[in-house]
Amino acid sequence: MSDTAIPAMDPSVPNKFLPFEDVSFLKRFWVSNRTALLFIIGIAVFLLFWEWEARYLKIVEPFFIPPISEILAALKENLLNGEIPKEMAWSLRNWAGGWLIGAGLGIPLGLTLGSFPILNKILSPYLWILWVTPRIAFLPIVIMALGFGPETKILFISISCFFQVVVPTTAGVLTVKPSYVRVGRLFGGSRIQVYRKIVLPYALNFIVTGLRLAARSGMMVMYSTEMFGSAYGIGTWVILQSELFYMEAAFAGLICLIIVSVSIIALIDFIDNRMRPWKSEVSI
Amino acid sequence: MQKGASVTDTATGVPPLERPLPVPTPLQAFWGRFGPTLITVINLSIFVNMWQIVQGSSDPLVNTRWIPAPLDIVDAIILNIKNGELIKHASFSGTNYLIGMAIAIVAGIILGILLGLNPIVRSVSQAYTWVGFCTPTVALLPILIILFGLGVISKIFLVVLMGFFPIMINVLNGVATIDPVLMKAARLFGANRGQLFRKITLPYILPWIMIGIRIAAERSLGGVIIAEIFGSSRGLAYMIAQETDKFNSAGSYTAIAALMAFSLIVLYGVDRVEQKTLSWREASKY
């Protein structure tokens, strides 16, 4: 045996160049999707427990928490006869309108405040006072003034989104590293060029974070405003059903609402991750 | 600069490195200390004066049913403090809020740490917590009211639900980022499990806990307000709704001002605690 022989020729030496052990398809699938699978199994166990509890155990009166099968039947019925989609569309239209208005006002104002320190000094006390105020407290007065229609909801959603956008945008413009700006000026960029090529891309990170947070808090405000009183909307519909003690429909509406809001937020986060893979912030 | 060094420098005729700082005139010192506050106060008082001029005249810009004049609000605040209404409502809201927040903080931290220790359990519970975090929890209020009635329990429960998930998700994320090298090093130096937890895990996730508490503090305050507006017989938000129904806008602005002050105190308190506990570490705000 010479040294040049490849190890496989020598039966006494274990072969270092064997192909990887053949992992079964199931095992690979399990390892790569473990979290999702466990999550789904957990939910399935929870729903089975719910069904069992409502049918046989009856810790809580089944009249208040009906079995999940009946809830699903009510969900199917209300989805097919168009009740839930109609109300959901009304709510989501308000949400989208408020989000767009809030972002449309918030981004320019945030950029202005960040670029002109004197304006920032004058306006920031008011912004901070309104930022820390629980703005939902104005709800009864605004409803008295504007009525139960979509105007009140859009106003509240847009104010909430506005604040979620304006504060990070201002912070983004203010925290641009001075050395970047100096380098830009040094290489002969005009003020506008420096603003467009350095300040704006830097602030973009903050703006997108603000938009994401705004979408989330807008969703919260959307339901809060419908709580107090509204003509339409999924929140109002759920309240109506629970006041009629038609609990199956109320739970069906709630499930729909949870699924829609969670998936909208997940979609926004997904798009955000795709568009800015370089972002280093923690996902909150 | 050390004292000894400057003494030897003067002895050899070299001017001392410690030159005395220019002493500011009293006016400069005053301006440096209180200038920003003074500007803010002047700024705000101009705003309030203009508000009073516009709304307090005989022909107000907006109907005083919606926006009263500042002096009327001050009168209403004094009146409500004197007849004890404000204290009664504020104590009810404050108690609900504090009890709910305490439960949420304790439960969130304990559950977060327990579930965060095992990576698989952590990733699964992170998924659940994320769903709970993104659900608009206020929407559960009608069900909570049917289950627990219109009393205190449903309100505290809503506060707990709104505060629990931000804290829990932050603790879970924090436990996930603990540097395994640190854990290994501590084990190598002979730390037992208790010491490991106390000296590494807890300090490591403290900033995360504080971020969670800050988010929870804001959210839960909204929860208190919504629960009281929706159905209650006491509380600041109930007072707002009631006074609005009486078309007494000064009265409802009194309660709004009380809520503002309350949230300012809470947020300021959270900030102070954060600075005290995390003075050794930079906490990210977003």
Q: What is the pLDDT of residues B86-134, one digit of tens each?
A: 999 999 999 999 999 999 999 999 999 888 888 888 888 888 888 888 8
- The highest-confidence range among A62-71, A272-281, B153-162, B178-187, by mean pLDDT, is B153-162
Domains and CATH numbers, chain B: 1-61 (no CATH), 80-277 (1.10.3720.10)
- Encoded tokens for B51: 């508000």
**Confidence band for B1, pLDDT divided at 50, 70 and 90:** very low
Residue A218 phi, psi dihedral angles, 5° rounding: -60, -40
Distance CA B131, CA B120 (A): 17
| Domain match, A116 and A247 both | yes
Residues of B in contact with A91 (CB under 8 A): none
Q: Looking at the complex, does the CB of residue A153 fall below 8 Å from at least one CB of chain B?
A: no
- Encoded tokens for A39: 């999550």
Contacts of A114 (CB under 8 A, 6+ apart): A120, A169, A170, A171, A172, A173, A174, A203
Q: What is the pLDDT of residue A142?
A: 87
Q: Looking at the complex, does the CB of residue A100 fall below 8 Å from at least one CB of chain B?
A: no
Contacts of A122 (CB under 8 A, 6+ apart): B43
Question: Does the pLDDT at position A7 exceed 60?
Answer: no
In the listed set A22, A43, A65, which residue is the last one of a domain according to the structure?
A65
Answer whether B44 sits within 8 Å of A125, measured CB to CB.
yes
Cα of first residue to Cα of last residue in chain B, in angstroms, is: 39
**Confidence band for B66, pLDDT divided at 50, 70 and 90:** confident
Q: Is A215 inside a domain boundary?
A: yes
| Domain match, A159 and A45 both | no
- Encoded tokens for B17: 């490195």
DSSP class of residue B197 equals I
Question: Does the pLDDT at position A3 exceed 70?
Answer: no
Residue A15 DSSP SS3: coil
Q: Is A29 inside a domain boundary?
A: no
Residues of B in contact with A126 (CB under 8 A): 47
pLDDT in tens, A15-33: 666 666 677 888 888 888 8
- Encoded tokens for A110: 């945030």
Rg (CA), chain A: 28
Answer whether B124 sits within 8 Å of A220, measured CB to CB.
no
| Domain match, A229 and A266 both | yes
Element (H, E) at A34: helix A34-52
Distance CA B251, CA B244 (A): 8
Question: Does the pLDDT at position B4 exceed 50?
Answer: no
Q: What is the pLDDT of residue B102?
A: 95
**Confidence band for B33, pLDDT divided at 50, 70 and 90:** confident
Q: Is A179 inside a domain boundary?
A: yes
Q: Which residue stretches of chain B are H helix?
A: 3-11, 26-56, 70-82, 85-116, 119-134, 141-148, 152-176, 180-188, 193-196, 202-230, 236-245, 249-277
Residues of B in contact with A206 (CB under 8 A): 286
Q: What is the pLDDT of residue A282?
A: 41
Domain of residue A164, CATH code = 1.10.3720.10
pLDDT in tens, B199-252: 888 888 888 898 899 889 988 998 999 888 887 888 898 999 888 888 888 889
Question: Does the pLDDT at position A153 exceed 80?
Answer: yes
For residue B244, give the nearest of A129, A144, A254 by CB distance.
A144
How far off is chain A from B45, nearest CA to CA, in Å? 11
pLDDT above 70 covers what percent of chain A?
90
pLDDT in tens, B122-165: 888 888 888 888 888 888 888 888 888 888 999 999 999 999 99
Question: Does the pLDDT at position B15 exceed 80?
Answer: no
Give the dihedral of Cα atoms B202, B208, B210, B214; nearest 10 deg: -160
pLDDT in tens, B75-86: 999 999 999 889
| Domain match, A169 and A50 both | no
Distance CA B237, CA B225 (A): 5
Helix axes B249-277, B202-230, angle to 10 degrees: 170
Mean pLDDT of B40-65: 86
Contacts of B139 (CB under 8 A, 6+ apart): A223, A235, A238, A254, A257, A258
| Domain match, A56 and A124 both | no
Rg (CA), chain B: 27
Q: Which residues of A215-241 are buried (b: 16+ CB within 10 A; e: fewer)?
A: bbbbbbbbbbbbbbbbebbbbbbbbeb
| Domain match, A43 and A79 both | no
C-alpha angle with apex B51: B46 to B56, nearest 5 degrees?
130
Q: Is A209 inside a domain boundary?
A: yes
Q: Which of B96, B118, B134 to mutate to test the interface with A (most CBs of A within 10 A)?
A: B134
| Domain match, A85 and A218 both | yes
| Domain match, A107 and A53 both | no
Residues of B in contact with A238 (CB under 8 A): 139, 142
Looking at per-residue pLDDT, the higher value among A123 and A279 belongs to A123
Answer whether B169 sits within 8 Å of A219, measured CB to CB.
no
In the listed set A22, A46, A65, which residue is the last one of a domain according to the structure?
A65
Question: Does the pLDDT at position B9 exceed 60?
Answer: no
* Cβ atoms B256, B90 nearer than 8 A: no
Answer whether A224 sits within 8 Å of B226, measured CB to CB.
yes
Searching chain B, which residue's CA lies closest to the CA of residue A43? B128
Q: Is A265 inside a domain boundary?
A: yes
Distance CA B239, CA B76 (A): 13
Mean pLDDT of B37-44: 88
Q: Which residues of A155-168 are buried (b: 16+ CB within 10 A; e: fewer)?
A: bbbbbbbbbbbbbb
| Domain match, A161 and A223 both | yes
Mean pLDDT of B153-178: 91
Question: Does the pLDDT at position A257 exceed 90?
Answer: no
Which residues constitute the domain of residue A97? Answer: 74-275
DSSP class of residue B67 equals S
Mean pLDDT of A163-182: 88
Question: Does the pLDDT at position B286 exceed 50?
Answer: no
Contacts of B216 (CB under 8 A, 6+ apart): B101, B104, B105, B108, B162, B163, B164, B166, B167
pLDDT above 90 covers what percent of chain B?
30
Q: What is the pLDDT of residue A2?
A: 47
Q: What is the pLDDT of residue A93?
A: 93
pLDDT above 90 covers what percent of chain A?
22
Mean pLDDT of B166-189: 89
DSSP letter for each residue of A46-75:
HHHHHHHIIIII-SS-TTTS--HHHHHHHH
pLDDT above 70 covers what percent of chain B?
91
| Domain match, A53 and A163 both | no
Distance CA A3, CA B114 (A): 56
Average pLDDT, chain B: 85
- A&B contacts, CB < 8 Å: 138
Domains of chain A: total: 2
Q: Is A24 inside a domain boundary?
A: no
For residue B104, count CB atoms less than 10 angstroms from its CB and return exposed for 0-12, middle for 13-18, buried for 19 or more.
buried
Answer whether A227 sits within 8 Å of B230, measured CB to CB.
yes
Residues 70-99 of A with CB under 8 A from B: none
Residue A279 DSSP SS3: coil
Q: What is the pLDDT of residue B28?
A: 85
Helix axes B85-116, B202-230, angle to 10 degrees: 140
| Domain match, A133 and A177 both | yes
| Domain match, A102 and A161 both | yes
